[in-house]
Structure 1
Amino acid sequence: MTNQTPPMPPEIQKQMKKVGLKISFMMALMISFALSLTGNLTAEHPPEMPMIAIIIGFLESFVLSFAVSFGIGLVVPMPKVNAALGRKFHLQPRTLKAHIVESIVSNLIYTPLMTTVMVTFVYFFLIPPGHKPPYLPMFISSQVICFVVAQVLIFIFEPIIIKIAMSKMPPRPPFEQEHPHP
């Protein structure tokens, strides 16, 4: 006999999708802002570059990064990924070990793609032709720096953002009350 969980009622599924969108939106906003700022602060700007150009470059990077991150969030079902990780590695939900594994995997899914898009955009569209450093060292150092920054942010802020997003959910009755035994 298998222990299968009955499907969630449609109204709960709808609420969970809204919560998932809210979490994706808030995480994308926070990570995109932080990585765009990190990229801007670690970049070498020509001394003659006006501050307005630096600010516009930051804003363009942020918008692009947000679009990529939120797009990934719409496509990749992180709760299902995390559930699969839990099964594969025998992780107990809401433990430090589970959170470490989940945050690393989330970072591996999001950050390399976001950083690749941002670095490529900045390199080909924002850096003046006479000031372009070699692409590969810029790309590799950006990947490493952004991965570390994103890992710290995901590890710290993801649980907070989930808690904020879930706080608007109405309390669910215990499983036994929803599905009494015959």
Structure 2
Amino acid sequence: MEEQMKKIGRQMGIAMGILMSFSLSLVETLASGKFTLPSFLIAFVLSGVISVIIGIVVPVGKITADVCRKCKLERGKIGTRVVESLISDLIYTPIITLAMTAFFYKMVMIQSGGMAQLSFGPMFVKGLTIGVVVAFFLIFIFQPMLLGYFMKKNAREI
């Protein structure tokens, strides 16, 4: 049973990572004001790789369960879902946003020959603010649906 839960955790990590990467790449590329398909695809691949690694390496489900247990939150309640979503958001979003901001900052500086009047800090803060809000709602909405799907899928395989 424990091995089955680890498998579900890995599947959740990968699925949530791909969902988060796609959504954050799209939103942050659109928010930059210079949306191009290549920039979106590069952001999606970059953040996808990072988020899948996070999903495989970091036991997000175990961390959220431990925090909720310590806070005496009941599984399935709205308050518990808010806390779970916030924890996942704070694990994924800053890392993905940092990588994407660094990549695009570097690209803009290369393309401008170092003449672009950009500051990394404000770019990162803007991206992180947008990312945290968007990711929270994505996690809050899709995490329970994906968990239900993977629980049913893996129950049939037993």
TM-score normalised to structure 1 length? 0.78
Query: Aligned equivalents of 2:75 and 2:24: distance in 1?
Result: 28
Higher mean C-alpha deviation, range 141-150 or range 78-87: 78-87
Aligned partner letter, 2:41: L
Structure with greater Cα Rg? 1
Q: 2:2 corresponds to which residue?
A: 13
| Correspondence 1:158 to 2:143 | yes
Give 4+ residue runs of structure 1 displaced > 3 Å after superposition: none
The structure richer in helix per residue is: 2
Residues 1:97 and 2:86 are matched in the alignment: no
Identity of aligned residues (%): 37
Correspondence 1:30 to 2:15:
no
Question: What is the Cα deviation at residue 16 of structure 1?
Answer: 2.2
Give the TM-score of the pair, scaled to structure 2. Answer: 0.89
Structure 2: gaps spanning 5 or more residues: none
Mapped to 2, the partners of 1:24 and 1:33 lie a distance apart of: 14
- Secondary structure at 1:94 match in 2: coil
Aligned-residue offset at 1:32: 0.2
Residue in structure 2 matched with residue 70 of structure 1 by the alignment = 52
Contact (CA 8 Å) 1:57, 1:126: kept in 2 or not? no
SS of aligned partner of 2:155:
coil
Q: Distance in 2 between matches of 1:117 and 1:86?
A: 29
Deviation at 1:132, TM superposition (A): 5.1
Deviations 1:62-108 (A, max 9, x none): 11101111111112112221221122211111211111111101111
Q: Which amino acid aligns with 2:30?
A: L
User: d(CA) in 1 for partners of 2:139 and 2:100?
Assistant: 19
Alignment RMSD = 1.7
Aligned partner of 2:46: which letter?
A: L
Instruction: Provide the rounded CA distance (Å) in 2 between the counterparts of 1:170 and 1:142.
Output: 39
Q: Distance in 2 between matches of 1:144 and 1:152?
A: 13
Tell me how far apart the structure 2 counterparts of residues 100 and 110 of structure 1 sit (CA, whole Å): 16
Indicate conservation of the 8 Å contact 1:100/1:155, yes or no. yes
Q: Deviations over 1:15-34 (max 9, x none)?
A: 22222221111111111000
Superposed counterparts of 1:99-114, under 5 Å: 99-114=81-96
